[in-house]
Structure 1
Amino acid sequence: MRTKTVRVLLVEDDDGDALLVEALLEEARAPFILSRARTLAEAEEKLAGAECVLLDLGLPDSQGLDGLHRLLDKHDAPAILVLTGLDDEREGIEAVATGAEDYLIKGQVDGELLLRGVRYAVERRRAEDAQRQLREAELRAAERSRLERGLLPPPLLQNSDVNLEVRYQPGGQRMLLGGDFYDAVGMPDGTVHAIIGDVCGHGPDEAALGVCLRIAWRALVLAGEPPEKVLRTLDQVLVAERHGDGIFTTACMVTVAPDRRSARYFLAGHPEPLLLVGRRIADLPQSKIGVPLGVLPDYAWTGVDVQLPQGWSVMCYTDGLIEGRVPEDVERLGVERLSEILHRHLQDGPNWMDSVIAEVTELNGGALDDDVAILLLKDGK
């Protein structure tokens, strides 16, 4: 097996010591690419390409462990082997405690020992980096799981004749969780409330804010607050909890009457829901979109009443579903084209939600930039 070439940066101001290191590596026939820096400042400029640094602790612009600290503070710092004199072995031990992989005493190192030291340092740093990345990935996965449970909870629709289907697809190439959220609650009198929302931005802060708003919404609904007051209170919660003045949230809130023959919906800067009857899309009454949450203080949102025919479904979604790109077009997908796609897939049967998301993603040429959430309320009678 061919040994991989290692890029080594020697930081040494003494020409004699530098020649000795080069000679030892040649003696060991080490597969190294060796470069040299005479000062710490020069080493910092050359650090990016190095896998291992042989660092003398006595340099013109750095003495003792100061240079080691400066290199270790660099992003993606390579493995570092400290070179010490016979009288400075204690300093070498302190360097290892500080973060160096090991230390070597000048004059007591042959080619094979130097070779093993460099290889050990590189492999140890690679193992440490891999372990660190694994821990970070596990922490991110755990945090994402907690946030996802908060954003996308099981609905409280036990013993309800309204059925619920949901879909969620995180946006972006890295598929990180964003701020889209949804929830549904059935009340003792048979009324069903549902909400879908989208916190502007994408990341853990937005996701945490979405969790906060979703929990607040459920608490307000269970407390029996009227929808108008729920939205005003959510607006106050958003303003109090957001991490920046420009952060806003769009939302669509739907209330289905106990007799299932009518509904009322509220829009806070959010795309209008779609009313599906069988395999067609029905027209909704003209509605006022309203401003997003967090934009105007003391804004009053008004609802739109809708008559629900037998076999109805109400589809609420976030704007990630309509903001994807279309080939050979500068415009976004938009509601009209989404409706055309939806109408075609409705003819194929009950599994149309996955097919619609797949086609929108394909038209975009890959992963959508923003999250996609769909909440579908269906007449179960």
Structure 2
Amino acid sequence: MVVSKPDLNPQFIHQSLNHLLSESQLQQFLSQLQIIDPNPGELFRRFDQTEGGIYLILAGKVRLIDQEDNLIASVAQGWLGQIGLFADPGWQPYSLRASLGLKLAYLDGKSARFWFETHPQLQEYIYRQGEKLDLLMLCQQASGLNSVEELLPILPLLTTEQLEPGILPHQLTQNRQLWLLRQGEMVHGSGLKLIPGQLYFQEILPLEGEWLITKPTQLYILADSPEAKVNVKPSSKTNNKNSVLKTAPLKTVISQAKIAPATTPLTYFPSPQIKIAHWWQQSSKRYPFLKQHSDSDCGVACLVMVSKYWGKNFSINQLRAVANVDRSGASIKGLITAAESVGFMVRPRKADLLALQSQELPAIAHWGGIRHGTCQRRA
């Protein structure tokens, strides 16, 4: 990595700060920036790095990578690294890897905090950019999309609403192309339930009836305007009947959505890659494993392992919130809710160890109120 003194375009930096600084303040801000030229492929920020500054992309692209080294998206503009400055427990850790020709402007953490303390509007602006990157990671994990890079252009166009439990205001149901929950839950009178991370296009959202907000919810809305276009393709891993999307290049702004019949559940056929993985696991007796972060995470850790077996990748942080994990762990009801929210059909069974042999594996065994374990194979 090469670090040098700044030779920057003041107008570009001013625009990246949403024109929130005066001319003299901008000059002071520019003097605190460093130019960084990471080597191609260099991991210049790790997911376990709890402190640091923020990065502004000047040229090239940054690869956004989750803590399991999965590529989320290649980002070409904006500020990155906010997770080291804001103590938001809901944000998912990520790493940053350099692509060819990447050039960054770096503002250290101490200087960034000074500007945030003196300019709350600037802090809010930078924070919202980081929040939308976290939203991108949530979409990748929860929706099962092949790629979420097509969502990058619409991120700046999303508006957010903080909603408390109750009836959704009617005006929020108007002029919408897309709804996306970052947290919380909404239920329509028809029975349609919206969960975080899924893309809900206007074609599958009921036109009449009321929406009930069952818990504090953060809702992102893409307004019905010709400026926003999104082209996403469903993954074979997606098995949520409310998020099966049929998309193609269209003259309209948003692709059409397709709802699977509610009375006919989708049959899951593992892809050839997953079948090969299953054969290898059975032959080598090596199955997906995830070490729980704390004593209370045993339930969601088991769900992550079962998800990996079926080719789905979710984080403990994401499932912990859905399962309503407290200090004692997840209840069986909370774990069922989390499993159903990511596309599994749950079939609870009361059984002892002998009866467990007749069940389809892998399965999650539950005992003692909050104890869970993953059963991978029969001895």
Q: Scaled by the length of structure 2, what TM-score is found? A: 0.25
Name the structure with the higher helix share: 1
**Bigger radius of gyration among the two:** 1
